[in-house]
Structure 1
């Protein structure tokens, strides 16, 4: 046994502390292989975690030779394999295990350390540059919000695969429905890959199939079904989503979930009826916009077409714009018609 391994704890603490200048920062760094110092150092790190959604940098070198944690201007480097041997440990120290499993903490590290299975000593870990499905809700909300410039409008657009964000986003949409006969634009892409709603300058794009899988859902979330069945709301969308039977419903999703509506109508049919022009009943979206005086160019993306698979957690802004083109256009058409009709009635 080496002499250093018999030193008093206070000497070891002093010997293990470095003031490391790295970049523009000076980081108080502890390098240790003793459990007692690990315990006190973890307490020091946790004292710095005072934000609502705290995060900790993490890395692992040589399969446990070094286990590193970083918070603000503090870094803890544990000589993990050496500690387990010197302290005769057969299990990970309780203080370290509790730290790793703290449900409030997100550990951020390189790709090699992020878990590839549901079982991990680390409760929540994400490699830099990739947002996992288990991130804190506030981070997911920020990551899922886009300000999309389409036509003459800038639309606050939420793209999400999590039920919790769907709930809050539906509430935001409903807060905009204050007219006597409210209406909502609706569209479905790839049999439920995307389920979209549009109200004024807000759009919600639900990655429906992905949400059902990630949240282990077997039924449509109650908040979504209640929204669709709201008696005062008319949903307006393309011909494929309007029902062909007395029962207002639409089969969606890889498991064949049934969306039930109180009222949903084809944008072409409604435009023809309100304008009293039967020839519009079967018109294309582009033809409808031309007839009512709206010019919204269909967005182009580098690949020139819609992606075939929307199961990714990361979506480009230009893809969002292309995906919402139909639902945005449908909403703008009916908004223009209803506004013009209201003005005409008021002037009579």
Structure 2
């Protein structure tokens, strides 16, 4: 190690480990660090975790930490925060479950093999507890993000689906996320948790910045919940849970906002639902929903084409055609008279 590492007052700290030039020593030191960190109660633990968060965000496809125990370590830290509230309230440990869940989500964002490793490491139960709201809405946000990534892959979706409460919790969160953030944070500026404010603004903003970022995070919480639900909606066996009237009717009003303008959000989920015969029935039975789809189809925004797909599938299905034709036919006739609908943007789930 260099002189700086030798002079470090905390031998074996994460930052010293990362400066190790010998690949074999570096690997064994990282392995030891991840294995021992959850059982330690030293002050300043948030520093290496926030460092890992930065690394995961900047290099989510880097495999270095994956087989050295990072997922086991992050899951253990989340459990520690859930079970040991005294530890959680000490020093700056309250940040750690948030960063730990974020690290899991970042490393499983693009690489299916990393997601498989995360599932094998047992991260799902700890993330589900955060999804339940065992801590606060900021941890719910990163938990639903991580679970959404794990649900994306064919090899890890069954593990997500085996936890039946994930779908129900995601539906509840999609419907209530805006109200949760408003009532638990936005509404009372003088009662906001300081660590929430720091996470939202990175310590660089006042009340106005906090409020603006909270609006963005609330929208992300809803969009990421919808992304997770969408993974279930591709499987017909889950449509009976997804296609509840009180949820379906709200989907057209769930949009990503300016911060998530490329997210198909509620209309994207409706398109997935309408692609299934089992999904078209509940949609057709919801009169207000069909009217909303007609209005979106007549609009000029980027969701127009998704709404048109939904209407066409409803009209082409003999079991739903007679229920919707009076509303759908006039909307499609109006559209047929337009020579060009314009060019749609490429929309994708966040």
Q: Same fold (TM over 0.5)?
A: no
TM-score (normalizing by structure 2): 0.32
TM-score (normalizing by structure 1): 0.32
Write 1 or 2 for the structure with the bigger share of helix: 2
Write 1 or 2 for the structure with the bigger share of strand: 1
Structure number with larger C-alpha Rg: 1
